[in-house]
A and B are shown apart, each in its own frame.
Chain A
Amino acid sequence: MLLALHPTPVSFVCDPLCNAEGKRALHMTPRVVFPNKVLPYLLVAPQLAIVLVFFYWPAGQALYQSMLKEDPFGLSSRFVGFDNFRKVLSDPNYINSLEVTLIFSVATAAVSMCVALLLAVMADKVIRGKGFYRTLMIWPYAVAPAIAGMLWLFMFNPSIGTLAIGLRNLGIAWDPLLKGDQAMVLVVMAAAWKQISYNFLFFVAGLQAIPKTLIEAAAIDGARETKRFWTIVFPLLAPTTFFLLVVNTVYAFFDTFGIIHAVTGGGPGKATETLVYKVYNDGFVNLILGESAAQSVILMVIVIGLTAIQFRYVERKVHYG
């Protein structure tokens, strides 16, 4: 066993010839030449296969279905071109769900990032038991979305929820079953709570990367804590903040289905029906497959857009100090 571990890994990765060539290339030009034409493709083949099977194929199917009109059982189907897209985009309910999604995403991202930043700054100041605090803060991330939704649903259940009784005692007519804005508050809280841990982790890492000398120098110059935060810490955290903004938006757009399904089911009325929830509702409850597929294609375009923004700006601007 020990012997098997001993040989140098170099000989496994590269034969002597390639090794020599690689060295020469390193000395002459900065580019490393990989002479084998087939091996690189073989190495990425499993990854490509996964992407093909789990992304391109279903995406192609969605694109194809979005141009069909068919009954649930697929007994009759006909090609209708962009008809489904036209219908979806002219549907006032779709515009409503677009608005709902925007409000929901902005609120969720704002709440979860603000709270996480506050907690990160506070946790950064803790000297004893730092690790303990941080571990505690990360826990909620492990909770499944549907469970998180149920937790909040129970706490704010108008009849039996502990916190709902408190609200009622304060004179607030709490009824998220009928009041759309209250239902929205509830799902935003549940969704934001779940994402705080993730944001916290990145903010802590971002804070650690800020050189202490800068902050100390400012302190010596007489800048108070709030001033130091807004003029030094916050701008230097900007790349982290921007990255998190994109990640949180994507999260609010696409990963909150479980929460909404468990807490409001899109209601009351259509007050919490986000784009993703509408895809599910139209496709799996109402069985309007073509329009549902068209909606998921639109969502796909939005994800591609968000990812492009992330790659274009975030990847470029992550420079500290």
Chain B
Amino acid sequence: MNSRKILYFASALTSASFISGSALAVTEISWWHAMTGANNEVVETLSKEFNASQSDYKVTPVFKGTYPETLNAGIAAFRAKQPPHIMQVFDAGTGTMMAAEGAVKPVAEILSMGGKPFDKSAYLPGIVAYYSKPDGTMLSFPYNSSSPILYYNKDVFQKAGLDVDNPPKTWAEVRDAARKIKTSGAAACGYTSTWLTWIHTENFAAWNNYQWGTEENGIAGPNVELKVNSEPFVKHFQELADLAKDGTFKYGGRTSEAKQIFLSGECGIMTESSGGLGDVIKSGMNYGTGMLPYDTESQNTIPGGASLWVFGGKSDEEYKGVAAFFNFLSQTDIQARLHQVSGYLPVTLAAYEKTKADGFYEKNPAREIPIKQMMGKAPTENSKGVRLPNLPQVRDIMNEEYEKMLAGQQTAQQAMDNVVSRGNAAIKEAMN
């Protein structure tokens, strides 16, 4: 009895030492992320494939909650001096991470540690610009990028007597179509939109080449003054508020809640992230897609989504592992698959070309729309992106003012003036 116990204990000890012995040879790379559902499975699969592809490094993905929760967890871990190696940070958190220069290590630097020289031109310019410093150094690795596009319900279009194959191109056309849907009774509401901040403010500015803020919308420097109370913005939002009065436009919420009212058939048209395509397909709706509407002429849209940041203060060996993982992610096959399966934009040009050559877009035209929107023209100083050290806070201010406007408590002019004065005060406060 006793001797058997000792034997068992001894064997347990030796096997334990074996495990720890082998673990010493492998460098662990922790990856904190905010992906749920099918996207979480993608994260798990990618890590497993990378771990199986080589034996020096082991990537361990850890789910940390929503985007803001993940960012907070990373910040808390950094303050406790135990940050992960890689952290996924959402678009609006980009400015926060960039301001923390001592805490992060530029991805461009890390990629060049992986043995291969880092070639920026291999990556999609519109996306890379969004995650780069003013001097062009790429700071984070774009992981899941998307851009807003237009979705419409073909059955509703048919009932309303609208052209099923030609979705509205300009905002004026969207408004006309929405009124037609409402008055004809084809649907209870004509148009809805997710993310009024990201789509109707930030992308509205870039896509129409209007100025959102000074300093190239914050890309060139952090001392930004908001300019969104100019005439085009005020006019655009007043039209939206007017449509909201009789329910032609229906507000769904601050983030992507409006998707629900489109999927339920309540509204006939929706503007949403290209990443929302999966849910639209899953609903079984007879849907169509189009480019994001513009006023008179289109420029280019800007990405949303998230990128991977690397914390500073780790060993060279660990950074080599991170570099190996990023190089693994950049492979054309992996990128093309990620793009085709998940709907994220491809990060490299080669992956885009491969997907095109495969004939994927002929069957899935909606997948190419955001790429075309972002690659059409060289970005101007109004359309490189939007960056603030406290963008989440400024977006909150916008949401509050938009809600008051849509409830009829203030005009668009008042709302945009409030956004500018409150937003500028908040930016100034965050800067000192």
Contacts and interface: CB of A to CB of B under 8 A. Distances in A.
Contacts of B72: 284
A177 B103 contact: no
Contacts of B393: 285-288
Contact of A71 (B99, B404, B429): B99
Contacts of A268: 400, 403-404, 407
Interface string B388-399: 001011001001
Interface in B381-420: 390, 392-393, 396, 399-401, 403-404, 406-407, 409
B92 to A, nearest CB: 10
B406 A73 contact: no
Contact of B260 (A159, A270, A281, A288): A159
B252 interface: yes
Nearest to A264: B253
Contacts of B78: 73-74
A140 interface: no
Given A177-B253, A267-B403, A285-B68, A159 B261 contact: yes
A72 B79 CA distance: 9
A178 B403 contact: yes
A177 B251 contact: yes
Nearest to B263: A159
B392 A75 contact: no
Contacts, number: 67
A73 B400 CA distance: 27
Nearest to B429: A288
B253 to A, nearest CB: 6
Contacts of B406: 178
A146 to B, nearest CB: 13
Contact of B396 (A75, A160, A177, A286): A286
A287 B400 contact: no
A177 B194 CA distance: 13
A269 interface: yes
A89 to B, nearest CB: 16
B266 A159 contact: yes
A265 interface: yes
A73 B79 contact: yes
Nearest to B79: A74
Nearest to A267: B403
A269 B404 contact: yes
A160 B260 contact: yes
A160 B251 CA distance: 15
Contacts of B396: 281, 285-286
Interface residues of A, number: 22
A267 B254 contact: yes
B220 to A, nearest CB: 21
Nearest to A70: B79
A269 B260 contact: no
Given A73-B78, A159-B260, A267-B403, A177 B100 contact: no
A180 interface: yes
A73 B96 CA distance: 9
A227 interface: no
Given A73-B78, A159-B260, A178-B251, A267 B400 contact: yes
A285 B392 contact: yes
A75 B260 contact: no
Interface in B28-80: 68, 72, 75, 78-79
Indicate the member of A73, A267, A268, A281 with the most B CB atoms within 10 Å. A73
B264 A287 contact: no
Given A284-B72, A285-B68, A269 B103 contact: no
Contacts of A86: none
B392 A269 contact: no
Interface of B: 68, 72, 75, 78-79, 96, 99-100, 102-103, 251-254, 260-261, 264, 266, 390, 392-393, 396, 399-401, 403-404, 406-407, 409, 429-430
Given A73-B100, A287-B392, 16 more contacts: A73-B102, A74-B78, A177-B252, A177-B403, A268-B403, A268-B404, A269-B400, A269-B407, A281-B396, A285-B392, A286-B390, A286-B392, A286-B393, A287-B75, A287-B390, A288-B430
27 contacts: A71-B99, A72-B75, A72-B96, A73-B100, A73-B103, A74-B78, A75-B102, A159-B260, A159-B266, A177-B252, A177-B403, A179-B407, A180-B407, A267-B403, A269-B404, A269-B409, A270-B400, A281-B396, A284-B72, A285-B392, A285-B396, A286-B393, A286-B396, A287-B75, A287-B392, A288-B429, A288-B430
Interface of A: 71-75, 159-160, 177-180, 265, 267-270, 281, 284-288
Nearest 5 A/B pairs, CB to CB? A268-B403, A286-B393, A178-B407, A73-B100, A73-B103
